Structure 1
Amino acid sequence: MTHLHAGLSSETTEKARLELNENPDTLHQDIQQVRDMIVTRPDIGFLRTDDDFILRFLRARKFDQVETFRLLAQYFQFRQQNLDMFQSFKVDDPGIKRALMDGFPGVLETPDQHGRKILILFASNWDQSRNSFTDILRAILLSLEVLIENPELQINGFILIIDWSNFSFKQASKLTPNILKLAIEGLQDSFPARFGGIHFVNQPWYIHAMYTIIKPFLKDKTRKRIFLHGNNLNSLHQLIQPECLPSEFGGTLPPYDMGIWARMLLGPDYNDDTEYTLTYDALHVRENGGGGGDKDMMKR
């Protein structure tokens, strides 16, 4: 087994073979073929090209090398085109820190029944005087950067649940087409994560209207994975077992602690008044190819 498979369970390795066309015998060759395409895009600064990094893009595109390179190029192009978003792309940036502390995003410790990591957003927690939408998006992207270092999650993927309870029309009016398009470009088109489902719950009519606006920007694959449950949690539970969900979503787990993910990223001394020096560099090249659980990733 190649070092790139270190830390993977036999079940996940088999899943990668069956679902993603991953072949341990040709892994290094697949990675190199993607790397060889970099010369075709001299307009893009590819700031990271190590094996571990390229592998996550191959997994996100089921080892289609052309599609993998397209995603890799879009990843760096998105960052070049939105330099202000990534200038201080670390957990101690004040905007990202505030968003994390306000639960953007929440990350459940328990995965779903398919091993997918569950991210949750409580939309009504968006205090527009405290958090810009851009900072929330940056906090989500940074969280995904941390999580995607785990090879199990590169293969199993993610679930996103957005609870729109008490999200006002005034708040919704701030979700302009431009910032929604930015979010779609950052998450759908430029990030190597496999999203198995995006679930809306308790959404009011104006969120349906917003969805109609953004629908043309969504790929067919993304549209098929968006589920609008309204207040019908039974339909949510048909796709995500209640044993994997906190009580807010009708699950059997305790209510979600909004600060739990922020504490993992910001460190054990997390509190509102601390100035943080711990940083996460998304382009940091790890010397070891292994990938433990979330706790291993936080030891920085």
Structure 2
Amino acid sequence: MSKMSKKEAQKKLQDKTIQKKTNREDDKADVQKCIETLRELLQGEKNLKIRLDDKFMLRYLRWLDFDPELAFNKIKDIYKFRAQTKEWHCCSPPSEYEDILEMHIQAILADRDSRGRRVYVVKIGNIDDNKDINIYRLSHVDDLWLEAAMEEEETQKNGLAVIVDMEGYSLKLFRWLTPQNLRNSSRKLYNLSFPQIDFHVVNTSALLNATIALVYPFLDSKVKEHIHFHNRDWPSLHKYINPEILPAEYGGQIPSLDYAKLRALLYDNSDQLMELFSMGYVNT
């Protein structure tokens, strides 16, 4: 029998961790106790306007191994950060970002991968910096897609896979890679309540090396373990994301992406998204 590679061992451990969390939910009484404890903690937090329904509590409890105290502290940390960096966080409906959505920079695929994860595609080269676009508005569009995904029970349990497509990456985008922007971007990444996020970088170029040198110091070692570089080696990508759900440009079986249809996820959940964006610390 061949020896298991380090990546295969890590994947097996991650799958066991996700299964352990899923099994934890079989104990309904224990889960309900965790929900009630977290709700009580949040009710006692002064000036925090937030949802208190079971569904919202589970979003954070699933993420943090059903530890109410840890979930409470993380929620406080997330919303304090939002209050401090309002320009980085979305507070408008999808209709306000049609110009960016029509550039086909970001989108969540219609189908989940074989592990039940949502797949988020980010095409860096589609950013048209000649238009009224900046890093804040792009971050807002990420909020739209990812908040919609984080509300889904299956995604909360299984996580997210991100395809970062570097085709056409422009040197002009370097101006956004300031230390402050990188710190805020990485902080937002750590605040995403997915049990696991894997990044798959494709269509790389020599220019990417300079970007990596700037970005890597701001990333946690655990995040780095979940970044995979494939360039244009589609069989390599398919070891993680099955080709049945991918478009042909990534060696998949779908001819092309119907972006207008994919955006229905945002427009159909616009009211729910606005409720999520309205939450946070308020002044009295």
Q: Which residue of 2 aligns with 1:221?
A: 222
User: Which residue identity lines up with residue 276 of structure 2 in the other structure?
Assistant: L
Cα distance between partner residues in 1 of 2:155 and 2:232: 29
CA shift for structure 1 position 135 = 0.9
Q: Which residue of 1 aligns with 2:4?
A: none
Specify which of 45, 52, 55 is matched with residue 55 of structure 2: 52
Q: Which residue of 2 aligns with 1:242?
A: 243
Please list, as runs of the form range in 1=range in 2, the aligned pairs for 1:90-129 lying within 5 A after superposition: 90-93=93-96, 96-129=97-130
Cα distance between partner residues in 1 of 2:172 and 2:18: 44
Indicate the SS of the match to 2:92.
coil
Does the C-alpha gap of structure 1 residues 282 and 198 become closer, same or farther in structure 2, counting only changes over 3 Å?
farther
Please list, as runs of the form range in 1=range in 2, the aligned pairs for 1:251-262 lying within 5 A after superposition: 251-262=252-263
Q: TM-score, normalised by structure 2?
A: 0.80
> Per-residue displacement from partner, 1:57-91 (whole Å, max 9, x unpaired)?
11112223333223211221122112234473321
Preserved CA contact (<8 Å) 1:200 1:230: yes
Task: Identify unmatched segments of 5+ residues in structure 2.
Answer: 1-15, 279-284
Indicate the SS of the match to 1:118.
strand
Does the C-alpha gap of structure 1 residues 88 and 201 become closer, same or farther in structure 2, counting only changes over 3 Å?
same
* Number of corresponding residues: 259
The answer on 1:33 being equivalent to 2:34 is no
Q: Which residue of 2 aligns with 1:155?
A: 157
Q: Which residue of 1 aligns with 2:5?
A: none
Cα distance between partner residues in 2 of 1:282 and 1:101: 24
User: Which residue identity lines up with residue 191 of structure 1 in the other structure?
Assistant: L
CA shift for structure 1 position 120 = 0.2
Indicate the SS of the match to 1:109.
coil
Preserved CA contact (<8 Å) 1:118 1:160: yes
Cα distance between partner residues in 2 of 1:210 and 1:204: 10
Cα distance between partner residues in 2 of 1:98 and 1:194: 31
Cα distance between partner residues in 2 of 1:24 and 1:279: 26
Indicate the SS of the match to 1:120.
strand
The answer on 1:135 being equivalent to 2:137 is yes
Deviant stretches of 4+, over 6 Å: none
Please, what is the CA RMSD of the aligned residues? 2.8
Specify which of 144, 163, 178 is matched with residue 146 of structure 2: 144
> Per-residue displacement from partner, 1:14-70 (whole Å, max 9, x unpaired)?
99662353332211211222233347754x624223221111011112223333223
Cα distance between partner residues in 1 of 2:272 and 2:222: 34
User: Which residue identity lines up with residue 281 of structure 1 in the other structure?
Assistant: M
Higher percent of residues as helix: 2
Indicate the SS of the match to 1:31.
helix
Q: Which residue of 2 aligns with 1:199?
A: 200
Indicate the SS of the match to 2:120.
strand
Cα distance between partner residues in 2 of 1:120 and 1:186: 18
Preserved CA contact (<8 Å) 1:31 1:55: yes
The answer on 1:89 being equivalent to 2:82 is no
Does the C-alpha gap of structure 1 residues 167 and 259 become closer, same or farther in structure 2, counting only changes over 3 Å?
farther
Cα distance between partner residues in 2 of 1:220 and 1:68: 22
Preserved CA contact (<8 Å) 2:107 2:145: no
Identity between Structure 1 and Structure 2 (%): 25
Preserved CA contact (<8 Å) 1:112 1:241: yes
Does the C-alpha gap of structure 1 residues 284 and 215 become closer, same or farther in structure 2, counting only changes over 3 Å?
closer
Q: Which residue of 2 aligns with 1:67?
A: 70
Cα distance between partner residues in 1 of 2:104 and 2:271: 19
Cα distance between partner residues in 2 of 1:87 and 1:123: 20
Indicate the SS of the match to 1:159.
strand
User: Which residue identity lines up with residue 157 of structure 1 in the other structure?
Assistant: G
The answer on 1:181 being equivalent to 2:183 is yes
